[in-house]
């Protein structure tokens, strides 16, 4: 099968050289400010202060599934009701200030979940200056960092339904939304899309966000063979991407997303 991308013809099965050329080209194309307007990362780009950025990013990533225009609108709704100052609001709110959030709904994330998230964020930020510290673990890798964060964030009182909104890689979840959040916080380059305000991990340690869309593109390209979209698949995909760029493997998330969302390139 012959396909053309950017004037370059590639054929299946793709050679390694053709794959890297394609991924580099598409990562360069889509890692640009012109493409973030319809992406959830546009939400934290409302802010310039790190404390505001990380909270806006965390909330946007938490509800980042479904139609992008809807999730962006709903994330912005949350921030508007924080007087467009999420860090100050989270640190200072009183129980009466939470009334507007009782009616929040984004797909299966509802008011009960929202209230728990806000209270948990306040509790943790009273003890820590940033969410970053909560991802530290003795093992020092992303998987155990997410597990450590989840344990502290949920504590012992999270409702079962709310716990499902914080993915658990120890149960083999791909943890797509948390990995996306970590990409935003950790990765950095001269394009200024990702923020690069955290140092808890190196960009080389990050795990590529994986969902049905990026997984479909990766399988079509032959860089992912596992059928399930789970943590093992995310690690398999990331290992392959590291072979193309060991320093910044998740830059290729831009390529996988762009090929699927804008070019309709998915597994048949």
SS3 136: coil
What band does 238 get if pLDDT is binned at 50, 70 and 90? Answer: very high
Task: Give the torsion sign (CA, 4, 5, 7, 9).
Answer: negative
* Mean pLDDT along residues 3-14: 56
Residues of the chain above pLDDT 90, percent: 91
The DSSP result for 70-105, as a single string, is HHHHHHHHHHHTTTT-HHHHHHH--GGGGGGGGG--
Report d(CA 37, CA 99) in Å as an integer.
30
On whether the CB atoms of residues 118 and 90 are closer than 8 A, the answer is yes
- SS3 call for 144: helix
Tell me: pLDDT of 172 over 80.
Answer: yes
Token match 């950017």: residue?
6
Work out the mean pLDDT of the chain and round it to a whole number: 94
SS3 38: coil
pLDDT at 185: 98
pLDDT at 181 over 90: yes
**218 vs 200: CA distance, rounded Å:** 28
- Annotated domain spans of the chain: 1-30+208-268, 49-201
- The string of pLDDT tens digits covering residues 84-123 is 999 999 999 999 999 999 999 999 999 999 999 999 999 9
Global pTM reads: 0.94
**Confidence at residue 265, expressed as pLDDT on a 0 to 100 scale:** 83
CA separation for the pair 124, 91 (Å, rounded): 10
């Amino acid at each position: 099968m012959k396909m053309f991308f950017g004037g370059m013809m590639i054929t299946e099965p793709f050679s390694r050289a053709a794959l890297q050329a394609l991924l580099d080209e598409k990562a360069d194309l889509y890692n640009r400010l012109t493409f973030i307007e319809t992406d959830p990362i546009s939400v934290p780009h409302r802010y310039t202060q790190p404390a505001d950025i990380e909270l806006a990013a965390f909330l946007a990533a938490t509800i980042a599934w479904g139609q992008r225009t809807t999730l962006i609108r709903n994330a912005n709704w949350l921030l508007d009701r924080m007087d467009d100052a999420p860090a100050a609001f989270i640190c200072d709110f009183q129980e009466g200030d939470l009334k507007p959030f009782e009616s929040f709904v984004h797909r299966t994330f509802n008011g009960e979940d929202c209230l728990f998230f806000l209270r948990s964020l306040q509790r943790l930020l009273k003890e820590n200056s940033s969410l970053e510290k909560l991802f530290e673990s003795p093992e020092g890798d992303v998987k155990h960092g997410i597990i450590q964060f989840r344990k502290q964030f949920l504590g012992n009182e999270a409702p079962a339904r709310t716990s499902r909104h914080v993915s658990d890689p120890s149960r083999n979840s791909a943890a797509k939304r948390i990995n996306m959040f970590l990409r935003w916080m950790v990765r950095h380059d001269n394009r200024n899309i990702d923020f690069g305000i955290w140092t808890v991990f190196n960009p080389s340690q990050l795990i590529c966000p994986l969902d049905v869309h990026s997984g479909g593109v990766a399988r079509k390209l032959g860089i992912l063979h596992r059928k399930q979209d789970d943590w093992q698949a995310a690690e398999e995909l990331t290992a392959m991407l590291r072979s193309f760029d060991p320093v910044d493997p998740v830059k290729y998330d831009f390529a996988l997303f762009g090929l699927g969302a804008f070019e309709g390139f998915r597994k048949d």
